[in-house]
Structure 1
Amino acid sequence: MTLTKANLLSKESLTPHVFKIVLKPEEPINFKAGQYLQVVMADEDKRPFSIANTPATSDLIELHIGATPDNPYAYEVLQRLEQQQWLMLEVGLGNAHVKNTQLEAVLIAGGTGYSYTKSVLFNILETQPERKVTLYWGAKSFADLYEAAELQALSNKHAHFKFIPVVELPDSDWTGKVGFVHQVVMQDFTNFSAIEVYVAGRFDMAKAVKADLLPLGLKAENLIGDAFAFI
């Protein structure tokens, strides 16, 4: 774990309530793809966020923060960043990082949980280009899948990568997958005995993934996500 001050380089609105933050740490950082950081608000107030970039770009830190005034946990972090233009961070936390295996990888993201799977995905493409990987990203509407176009282009470029967007409330012209994201995964896979699953999103989603996929052959050691340290 590295403690570092990180200066704000850019803030971009991805949706009305989700912001892409790029920070420049003042000291070198080491982390594994899939690990998270904590924003140090005070000695007893440290708030975790997924790191969206990979160690290959460790001179920068990319965060995707969903924040509204009625969500002070994240909103206060953005407020502080805007006020002082820097944050104090603890970087390189958690055990839900990419595993060096040849198993097919299935990434399941809900909402801004995508930031975790983005780091995992890009690391696999960078370091294990022959490994088969599928990303399922679910949200209420297609507009919430703020990097869908980039992911589709990436899927067209990489033969071993597939992107599956999933929406719960589709528009009338939507022709893609509809429903809860992990249930769509279960429509495409019926045996998980040789698959590694990475999960990020709400705790209730992670709990449902665990309950539904383990009976389908998924090994507990191949179910990876920070939430599983608590559920």
Structure 2
Amino acid sequence: MSSICCKVESIEPLTDIVSRVKLAALSPISFKAGQYVKVIMGENDSRPFSIANAPDGSNQIELHIGAGAGNDYAGQVLEKMNTHGEIDIEGGHGEAFFRDTDIKPTILLAGGTGFSYTYSILQQRLKIADDQPVFLYWGTQKLADMYEYEVLIELEKEHKHFRFIPVVDAPDEQWQGKSGWVHQAILTDIVSLEPYQVYVAGRFEMAGVARDDFQKQGLLLENLYGDAYQFI
């Protein structure tokens, strides 16, 4: 797969450590919702980031890059984008893309910036005119980390079959929603996962535990998707 040069249109802070990057590809790029691109940093150095937007035939790519203190892996990518104003990428990559030929009730499970993967799928899924339920469970350390909270609340109002369930790991005293492990919230809410397709993005440890627990609750593994499952 040949590389594609992209102009860096904007880098916008979403939280103290997460930035929204908008790229304009200078040649045609093709991807499916839920795929990722590799940012080329050197001859033998390419770094994967989930695409946060759904494909729409344009040359636009949106990335949500988390680069906290000590995270040179992502921080160097942002630095290069800021310095040069353009970047080379390859994509789309990944087999955990949205399956749109056999629509089932859908659960999207995101931990932290894994949200970008589920957000791409969500946008594509909501384009389909049907009434099959769609759930997005997003787990973060604190509510302030949930940088698209208000956007998701509005989407929930616009689409009657969509529900957004935020899960905060370390809530303050004012929080009245769900807390703890995000995948446990799904297990509590849904008695049987057998009818569902589930898309997962987050830390490998979470993805592994979720797979085991979801299977025990009836999920068919052929209906479980996540890039992590190629490695664990």
> What is the TM-score normalised by the length of structure 2?
0.97
The total of aligned residue pairs comes to 231
Cα distance change of structure 1 residues 115 and 57 upon mapping to structure 2, 3 Å threshold: farther
Q: Say whether 1:191 aligns with 2:192.
A: yes
Aligned counterpart, 1:138:
139
| Distance change >3 Å, CA 211–CA 60, structure 1 → 2 | same
Residue number in structure 1 paired with 2:220: 219
Query: SS state of the match for residue 127, structure 1?
Result: coil
- Distance of 2:2 and 2:133 partners within structure 1: 32
Structure 2 portions without partners, runs of 5+: none
Please give the alpha-carbon distance, in whole angstroms, between the structure 2 residues aligned to 1:58 and 1:152.
Answer: 26
**Residue 150 of structure 1 pairs with residue 156 of structure 2:** no
Partner of 1:106: 107
Which stretches of structure 1, 4 residues or more, deviate above 6 A after TM superposition? none
CA distance in 2, matches of 1:2, 1:33: 20
Give the superposition deviation at 1:4.
0.5
Match of 2:228, as an amino acid?
A
Name the CA shift for 1:129/1:42 in 2 (closer, same or farther; >3 Å).
farther
Give identity over the alignment, percent: 45
Residue type of the alignment partner of 2:144: A
Q: Which residue pairs with 1:167 in the alignment?
A: 168
Q: Residue 96 of structure 1: SS of its match in structure 2?
A: coil
State yes or no: 1:63 paired with 2:63.
yes
Please state how far the C-alpha of 1:228 moved relative to its aligned partner: 0.5
Q: Aligned partners of 1:18 and 1:164: how far apart in 2?
A: 21
> Is the Cα–Cα contact under 8 Å of residues 187 and 217 in structure 2 kept in the other structure?
no
Separation (CA, whole Å) in 1 of partners of 2:26 and 2:120:
21
Q: Does 1:116 align with 2:117?
A: yes
Deviation of the 1:171 alpha carbon: 1.1
Aligned twin of 2:6? 6
CA distance, structure 1, for counterparts of residue 2 and residue 216 of structure 2: 38
Deviation per residue, 1:143-194 (Å, 9 max, x gap): 0000001101100110111000000111111111111100011000121111
User: What's 1:19 paired with?
Assistant: 19
Q: Root-mean-square deviation (CA), in Å? A: 1.1
* Aligned-partner Cα distance in 1 for 2:75–2:128: 35
Measured in 1, the distance between the counterparts of 2:142 and 2:130 equals 31
Distance 1:56 1:139 in 2: 29
In structure 1, list runs of 5 or more residues that go unmatched: none
TM-superposed CA distance for 1:43, in Å, is 1.9
Aligned to 1:77: 77
| TM-score, with length taken from structure 1 | 0.97
1:57 positional shift: 5.5
Q: Cα distance 1:7–1:132, how it changes in 2: closer, same or farther (>3 A)?
A: same
Aligned counterparts of 2:228 and 2:199: Cα–Cα separation in 1: 11
Counterpart of 2:32 in structure 1 is: 32
Question: Which residue identity is paired with 2:117?
Answer: Y
The separation in 2 between residues aligned to 1:2 and 1:154, in whole angstroms, is 36
